Structure 1
Amino acid sequence: MVLRSCWKSRHKNSSGPAPCWTRPRLAALLWLCVTQFVCGSGAEGETNNVIQKDAEFDVTYNDTVTSENQTIYAFNHTVSRNKTEGVRVFVDVLSQGFESPILFVVRQKQAVVSFQVPLILRGLYQRKYPYSHVGRTLCQPPTRAASETQYFFVDVSTLSSLGTNYQLRVSRVESFTLQTDKKFSFTASPSQPQYFKYVFPDGVDTVIVKVNSEMTFPCSVMSIQDIQCPVYDLDNNVAFIGMYQTMTKKGAITVQRKDFPSNSFYVVVVVKTEDEACGGPLRFYPLRPDELIDAGNRSKFIDVIVTPAINSEVYVMGMLFCLGIFLSFYLLTLLMTCLENKRMKKREVFQIAADMSPAETGNPATSKTQASPYEYGSFADNGSTLSSEAITDSATSTDNNYGYVEQSLDSVGRSRQESLSSVEEDDYDTLDDITSDKNIVRTKKFLCVSDLSRKDKRILSKKYQIYFWNIATIAVFYALPVVQLVITYQTVVNVTGNQDICFYNFLCAHPLGALSAFNNILSNLGYVLLGLLFLLIVLKRDIVHNRALVRNDLNALECGIPKHFGLYYAMGTALMMEGLLSACYHVCPNYTNFQFDTSFMYMIAGLCMLKLYQKRHPDINASAYTAYACLAGVIFFSVLGVVFGKGNTVFWIIFSVIHILSTMLLSTQLYYMGRWRLDAGILRRIVYVIYTDCIRQCSGPMYIDRMVLLVMGNIVNWSLAAYGLIERPNDFASYLLAIAICNLLLYFAFYIIMKLRSGERIQCLALVCILFTAVVWGFALYFFFQGLSTWQKTPAESREHNRDCILLSFFDDHDIWHFLSSIAMFGSFLVLLTMDDDLDTVQRDKILAF
């Protein structure tokens, strides 16, 4: 009964000849009749008229809709399996009434799309933006037939009793399918999003979808979605499925065929209603919750291009290139080691021949220095004391000042070591101050290494080995949670599709498996391999030195800088951990895990400074516990600076005060060689020293060289503190690292200058390492400051700095920074290891401490 009356009503209100009622049209009529039956026909005495019109593409329909009538536009088009055409619906509402909007419902095969006009889109703080011009693209259901005619209907209705004028136009999108390596341009806005289809060509498994625009704002969103209905193409639902990222001028997403079973996908571009997500200005807050804000003109002209990504051959070439670079250092080191061993064997043969020739000629003077162990034993049995001077004269009697003293008893070696590691009683008077001899020794105007290497070598070796074991323990406890966290980050990115979580260089981010940017991870291999190589070099030197000590080699016992390898082992371990943690950071670089990449940089800088100071001051160098506690404080301030330092005046004042006070305390420690104490009377003693030395006597500093270093160091650090307080740089982690590097370079330059001033020389190997390292550091810093991405800005702003790969189509500028910086750090470690090799045959009481 209801269907019969509905049929009669529909036939009565239809104009023109009776239509040919096909099955789709009957279904549509049935849908309307059921709707009227369920929803009623409006108020009593009112009739809701349903008008159906046969509509055509590219024709503009100007109509009026009220609550008393409902209009249906029927469209049909032919869909081909081999050709995809988009269909786009444009609607303009000519009236300004927002109380009762017009509802448009598009019914098509396997999908229903509905929207109201004016379209109300919400922004931050639920602010409302109305749009009277709406354009939507209809999704294309797949068809199995070679050619098929599909129908869709556009229903127009409203609850407003007043007539509302509107315009409706449905058009075909001829260029709906994107072509490989062919740029396509279009315009989008918040109410008129755009999306297009891309089909993987044969032989291409991975592509990069690049979206560019000359306009920074308005902010937009780029999304990759599977071929399905509906397509989420509005600001409030674009993040529901697929992969997406915000963009201003640049956007890029790498898409793999394996993620899309249909071998095709949609590229969706949506313009956001507000710009806050892209770092734009925050608009005013509405006075009333229901207030509508004029959005203005937010159209954006955009270019999109799809290019094939690299193939597996490029991956293999990139990995072989990376391994080849760093394994070549192993081969070079092996070659140099073989040459050095060959040279040492020739030297030993020459030494033996030089020692045997006087004996063959019967020279009694020289034969006396070739005494057997039994002769030395007889001296000991008779109670004779073998002085260090006699042993030294005996050892230096050869032409090249290099020889071995063969002892069967350890007592002779111990007496020699004790005589050099303590001060003779003749050097002191009979006063009680002999019990505090270290205070007296360290106040000498010119100190030698022997004055500051008086402690037992075994105790010092254990003290410095703690550096290695502590950093190994820190590495284990630090790395395990980091690995777990970055795996979680990568999983979240893969599951949610949110490309704004990680700050990659999206134009050169090559995925492998679950990793989004494998090339950025691979390039950190150099830190690990070169750190391991440095540990092997240090181990070789340690073994050679221990063998020399076993055979009581005079040069190992009494000459050169005291050999303590604990800090070297710690430096090599820190370099390896820097590579591991940098790789973890680049799994998903962002604001919350920046410290993974910087923590061991601070440790490397601190350990290098400690090693430089330890060379000439082995007895008074900081313990491992104190050093790591200070480095932990630096990392703590690094985290606070990134979290709270941006624009926070109070934080910068506190940090600057702590920075300056720390510099002053360290200066005092270096100037007085640790012979001062921090207590309540420190200020009184400072004032007294200033009064007696500077005002009353006008005398200059006692240790001029140290004073010059410390004055320059304070000037540099105070300047850096003032710069931070005034400029307040956004990248606090890099600022803190710059402070550490500046102090390290300043002390290294002071060490080299003082070494040359003291009449010492730099051997060829160390000089080559210095020059090579300086050049590599220069190139490395150039690539570092290219700044391909930065988490100090929004993800969209970070992508503005993205650039294409520059090396083998696989590595970008930051990867080259990883290569060069790892080589430069390795070279810097070699400089510290070899720069004092010229002193291996010089007595320690002739080596100045500075």
Structure 2
Amino acid sequence: LFSLSATLLWLCVTQLACGTGAVGETKNVVQKDAEFDVTYNDTVTSENQTIYAFNHTVSRNKTEGVHVSVDVLSQGLESPILFVVRQKQAVLSFQVPLILRGLYQRKYPYNHVGRTLCQPPTRAASETQYFFVDVSTLSSQGTNYQLRVSRVESFTLQTDKKFTFTASPSQPQYFKYVFPDGVDTVIVKVNSDMNFPCSVMSIQDIQCPVYDLDNNVAFIGMYQTMTKKGAITVQRKDFPSNSFYVVVVVKTEDEACGGPLRFYPLRPDELIDAGNRTKILDVMVSPAIDSKVYVMGMLFCLGIFFSFYLLTFLVACMENKRSVIAKKNEKLQPLRTSTAPSVSPPQFPFHLNLYCRVDFNRLPSSAADNGSTLSSEAITDSATSTDNNYGYMERSLDSVGRSRQESLSSVEEDDYDTLDDINSDKNIVRTKKFLCVSDLARKDKRVLSKKYQIYFWNIATIAVFYALPVIQLVITYQTVVNVTGNQDICYYNFLCAHPLGALSAFNNILSNLGYVMLGLLFLLIVLKRDIVHNRALVRNDLNALECGIPKHFGLFYAMGTALMMEGLLSACYHVCPNYTNFQFDTSFMYMIAGLCMLKLYQKRHPDINASAYTAYACLAAVIFFSVLGVVFGKGNTVFWIVFSVIHILATLLLSTQLYYMGRWRFGKITTCIRQCSGPMYIDRMVLLVMGNIVNWSLCLRPHREAERLRLLPVGHRHLQPLICFSVQLRSGERIQCLALVCILFTAVVWGFALYFFFQGLSTWQKTPAESREHNRDCILLSFFDDHDIWHFLSSIAMFGSFLVLLTMDDDLDTVQRDKIYVF
């Protein structure tokens, strides 16, 4: 309005003054009747002004564009030429040379300017409209110019029909599109074979003026930068006129698209030659999917994961039927001569260490030194100082079973393992060449159950406090995108981003449903096993009490919760994926990987596994480094060298801790090196070497920060169980059919999942325009893309990995713990 008012005021003053200039000279005003597609060569000075009058017929059913093209033939102008186009409902003004500014206010002059006039809708079936082009300047020297006004025959885009055009910074192009009947959503695709110059595509409502220059194209509508590809999904509900403009602008500089940075001018008023920045592009508007495809996509997603619930129910029914038949056969068999092995009193020093308190200041020095032998006097003193020690030893197996079911709230780990010789005892047991599970399962089950339940409660607390601010932040991100129209904020696959409500890419969010549903299913499976195991303890089943791997379910509950949170946070990340919230997608990946490794280690080392507080503190440090990698690691070679060195040193330290079962000193290691002796624990050494090779290989991926941050937890999750299975087979242990099926199924699914993961449909490591070069169309049901399939397959693969950990030692449920090998 201000521009219109100023222009009209200037024209009125000029007419009323009868051509009188600022210096009192007479200005000649010449009006010419002009025609389309005719080139007018003329000269303008401060003493004369030329007005070109055009008229054309506008039809309600057909829209034709009008393009004004101007060339200034003179060089070294004192003052630019001002062109003012007066229309019925708009005024367009521009100067030639046109000065466009880039980064750091650098100035680029353009002597050739072309602008398209906006075409406001008309209510009449047909009417004649007039517009005028006024040419004036304040330069006293004569300036030659060329003016040409032409019709744009292909101003209105057709559905599914490609149109090719040329654009430059001083000659932007825009076209009109009208929604056909029955189409509510379309995808506007703009492509080019040229990476540079960088350009911007914009979707604007039908109104005047049209913002079609580099310095104002971001004022209204939706817009995104592009090199070779650009795509924006447009919905009819956002445009009351049922039509919109597709605007394409070539930028004056390429920094926004990742191009080189031009030199900085020496003088503030220096003009920089922009060179040839013409770009050939094509635009095509295609109908997007309808509501039926949305419904099919949601039903497909739900159907896949509900099938796992159905399959689990069928397997549970088969297992229950088999157990019932086994019990019937057991009742029909004749009574055995001995239904249970004889139970002897607990042997010293194991149970004495757990349930007796001994003052080692009263022991002989030889016993205190090695902890392997105790004098009869020490034993007698210990028994005298404790009222009911041998009374406990004479208790029946029934009383032992009842004691294990007491409330956990009254049990503290500090009540046990408090003897002064405990460290010596650990040195003797854990440094044996061949360890059995019974050597590392000496603590009371009630204590360990409470210890491992803390994993679940801690991760539940972490999940609540982590998820709430994440949800609030991504809602803010999505609101900013919808309000500003800036499509460069979020790194979607724009060729397969289906909006729903306020969400820009609903399909990427929906595909994360598998993590939540399968995580919940895993929790239900673990709960069933927990109930069955507790019932076995209540009826004093010897297999549950003394055989197999000790069963503790706290870590399994934590793993299922972490899988559900991974789905929730991955969905939050895909609301608006970018480098500032990338850690939302990876944090619980690290949590899952850490919990899986802890569970794998806990199975045969229940007494010496890390506490929940230590484990989560270490995982917090890992997540902290991953955040640093996102913020500072982009293209920073020094950071990744430091990160890799820290990672390698940390894995070496952890490997040493695992190799010596926590009973090591630097002096022991240097002595072994000095003596050049071979490793005492061959299998353990091979296992750790293979694990370290996997770790170090994942560090050697330069300039692939996002993949590296994701591959670390993914690699740990499925490679370490495979290594452990190889050791199990070497130890002569057999794998049950269910576990073998889970292993093979999980390995195959992981292979396909990683294939789709490496497709790389977008990457926040590059500029938004460069990221869009990797965008591809949907490949499943016209609704899901490659990354959605990665979500499907990875959630199934994680669920399978969890089942592998849950069932991998089921064949040992009837094997005495002193016959199960520790590796």
What is the TM-score normalised by the length of structure 2?
A: 0.89
Ranges in structure 1 where 5+ consecutive residues have no aligned partner:
1-27, 359-365, 377-383, 389-406, 418-430
Mapping of 1:53-64 within 5 angstroms? 53-64=32-43
1:210–1:251 CA contact under 8 A, matched in 2 = yes
Shift of 1:353: 1.7
1:520–1:586 CA contact under 8 A, matched in 2 = yes
2:488 matches 1:510 = no
Residues 561 and 169 of structure 1, relative CA distance in 2, 3 Å threshold = same
2:105 matches 1:117 = no
**Aligned residue in 1 for 2:51:** 72
**Aligned residue in 1 for 2:790:** 817
**Aligned residue in 1 for 2:478:** 490
Mapping of 1:434-833 within 5 angstroms? 436-676=424-664, 682=666, 684-691=667-674, 693-694=675-676, 699-721=677-699, 723=700, 727=702, 729-731=703-705, 733-833=706-806
Post-superposition CA distance 1:24-81 (Å, at most 9, x none): xxxx999845335479822445211111111111111100000011111111111111
> Residue 666 of structure 1 aligns to a residue in which SS?
helix
2:150 matches 1:171 = yes
Post-superposition CA distance 1:511-549 (Å, at most 9, x none): 100001100100000000000000000000000000100
1:387–1:416 CA contact under 8 A, matched in 2 = no
> Residue 754 of structure 1 aligns to a residue in which SS?
helix
**Aligned residue in 2 for 1:332:** 311
Shift of 1:643: 1.2
**Aligned residue in 2 for 1:293:** 272
2:162–2:282 CA contact under 8 A, matched in 1 = yes
Shift of 1:323: 0.3
Residues 780 and 296 of structure 1, relative CA distance in 2, 3 Å threshold = same
Q: Which amino acid aligns with 1:646?
A: K
Distance in 2 (alpha carbons) for counterparts of 1:178 and 1:209 = 10
Distance in 2 (alpha carbons) for counterparts of 1:416 and 1:225 = 72
What is the TM-score normalised by the length of structure 1?
A: 0.86
2:205 matches 1:226 = yes
2:717–2:801 CA contact under 8 A, matched in 1 = no
Distance in 2 (alpha carbons) for counterparts of 1:84 and 1:434 = 91
2:718–2:801 CA contact under 8 A, matched in 1 = no
**Aligned residue in 2 for 1:264:** 243
> Residue 608 of structure 1 aligns to a residue in which SS?
helix
Shift of 1:741: 3.8
Residues 42 and 461 of structure 1, relative CA distance in 2, 3 Å threshold = same
2:513–2:567 CA contact under 8 A, matched in 1 = yes
Distance in 1 (alpha carbons) for counterparts of 2:654 and 2:710 = 18
**Aligned residue in 2 for 1:106:** 85
2:401–2:537 CA contact under 8 A, matched in 1 = no
Q: Which amino acid aligns with 2:480?
A: V
1:63–1:167 CA contact under 8 A, matched in 2 = yes
Distance in 2 (alpha carbons) for counterparts of 1:367 and 1:285 = 97
Shift of 1:774: 0.7
Shift of 1:688: 3.2
**Aligned residue in 2 for 1:845:** 818
Distance in 1 (alpha carbons) for counterparts of 2:632 and 2:274 = 34
**Aligned residue in 2 for 1:352:** 331
Q: Which amino acid aligns with 2:577?
A: P
1:386–1:412 CA contact under 8 A, matched in 2 = no
> Residue 230 of structure 1 aligns to a residue in which SS?
coil
Distance in 2 (alpha carbons) for counterparts of 1:219 and 1:643 = 26
Count of aligned pairs = 757
Post-superposition CA distance 1:534-580 (Å, at most 9, x none): 00000000000001001111110001000011111111111101100
Q: Which amino acid aligns with 1:831?
A: V
Q: Which amino acid aligns with 1:700?
A: G
2:263 matches 1:284 = yes
Distance in 1 (alpha carbons) for counterparts of 2:613 and 2:156 = 65
Distance in 2 (alpha carbons) for counterparts of 1:367 and 1:251 = 81
Residues 817 and 434 of structure 1, relative CA distance in 2, 3 Å threshold = closer
Distance in 2 (alpha carbons) for counterparts of 1:618 and 1:517 = 45
> Residue 616 of structure 1 aligns to a residue in which SS?
coil
Q: Which amino acid aligns with 1:287?
A: L
Ranges in structure 2 where 5+ consecutive residues have no aligned partner:
1-6, 348-394, 406-418
Post-superposition CA distance 1:465-502 (Å, at most 9, x none): 11111111111111000100010010001000001111
Post-superposition CA distance 1:369-413 (Å, at most 9, x none): 499xxxx9xxxxxxx96689xxxxxxxxxxxxxxxxxx9974254
Residues 553 and 38 of structure 1, relative CA distance in 2, 3 Å threshold = farther
Shift of 1:288: 1.0
Percent of aligned pairs sharing the same letter: 87
Distance in 2 (alpha carbons) for counterparts of 1:636 and 1:144 = 62
Residues 779 and 746 of structure 1, relative CA distance in 2, 3 Å threshold = closer
Distance in 1 (alpha carbons) for counterparts of 2:659 and 2:96 = 78
Distance in 2 (alpha carbons) for counterparts of 1:736 and 1:252 = 29
Residues 69 and 324 of structure 1, relative CA distance in 2, 3 Å threshold = same
Residues 44 and 846 of structure 1, relative CA distance in 2, 3 Å threshold = closer
Q: Which amino acid aligns with 1:100?
A: S
Shift of 1:652: 2.8
Distance in 2 (alpha carbons) for counterparts of 1:611 and 1:44 = 91
Q: Which amino acid aligns with 1:588?
A: C
Distance in 2 (alpha carbons) for counterparts of 1:385 and 1:806 = 67
Q: Which amino acid aligns with 2:328?
A: V
Residues 676 and 152 of structure 1, relative CA distance in 2, 3 Å threshold = same
Distance in 2 (alpha carbons) for counterparts of 1:435 and 1:220 = 70
Distance in 2 (alpha carbons) for counterparts of 1:469 and 1:433 = 33
**Aligned residue in 2 for 1:247:** 226
> Residue 603 of structure 2 aligns to a residue in which SS?
helix
**Aligned residue in 2 for 1:149:** 128
Distance in 2 (alpha carbons) for counterparts of 1:802 and 1:298 = 25
Candidates 203, 217, 220, aligned match of 2:182 = 203
Shift of 1:661: 1.8
Residues 38 and 846 of structure 1, relative CA distance in 2, 3 Å threshold = farther
Between structure 1 and structure 2, the one with the greater Rg is 1
Shift of 1:744: 4.6
**Aligned residue in 2 for 1:20:** none
Post-superposition CA distance 1:771-795 (Å, at most 9, x none): 1111111111111111111111111
Candidates 296, 308, 311, aligned match of 2:290 = 311
Post-superposition CA distance 1:641-665 (Å, at most 9, x none): 1211234344234323321221121
Distance in 2 (alpha carbons) for counterparts of 1:325 and 1:542 = 27
Residues 671 and 507 of structure 1, relative CA distance in 2, 3 Å threshold = same
With 32-41 and 50-59 compared, the bigger mean Cα shift is at 32-41
Post-superposition CA distance 1:292-349 (Å, at most 9, x none): 1111111111110110011101100000000000000000000111111111111111
Distance in 2 (alpha carbons) for counterparts of 1:38 and 1:552 = 112
Distance in 1 (alpha carbons) for counterparts of 2:10 and 2:55 = 18
Residues 831 and 304 of structure 1, relative CA distance in 2, 3 Å threshold = same
> Residue 289 of structure 2 aligns to a residue in which SS?
coil
